[in-house]
Amino acid sequence: MNEICIWTGASGASYTYYVRPRGAELAPNQMGNYIYAKKDSEGHWTPLHIGQGDLAHSSQAALLESRGATHVHMHLNLTDEARLAEGRDLLARYRTDL
């Protein structure tokens, strides 16, 4: 069963993300938005890094592992404009360490 998580941006828009363990194998050339995250002491997801691009690659993977990222939340988002707008919306609401 695939776990999903709903993230809400500063605009109030909701975005549905699929949750995968960090390091899960993904097919290349799938463009979308991603959030590296971990659960806090109350079991709520905490974002560590919000980004966009090829879901199979992240230049921050090693650093995120050292900061405790256990999962990556992701979804396909095919246009540059939509990916960038969603990323800005989420970053306006959530502070991340990177």
In a domain, 39, yes or no: yes
Please count the structural domains in the chain.
1
| 86 and 15 Cβ atoms separated by less than 8 Å | yes
How much is the pLDDT for 26?
80
Question: Measured over all CA atoms, what is the biggest interatomic distance in the chain, rounded to whole angstroms?
Answer: 36
In a domain, 40, yes or no: yes
Which residues of the chain are under the pLDDT cut of 70? 1, 58-63, 65, 97-98
Residue from 11, 42, 94 nearest 73 by CA = 94
H helix runs in the chain, sequence order? 61-66, 80-93
How much is the pLDDT for 58?
65
pTM of the model: 0.89
In a domain, 75, yes or no: yes
Domain extent for 70: 3-93
In a domain, 84, yes or no: yes
Please, what's the b/e burial string for 21-38 (b: 16 or more CB within 10 A of its CB; e: otherwise)?
ebeeebeeeeebbbbbbe
How much is the pLDDT for 68?
84
In a domain, 98, yes or no: no
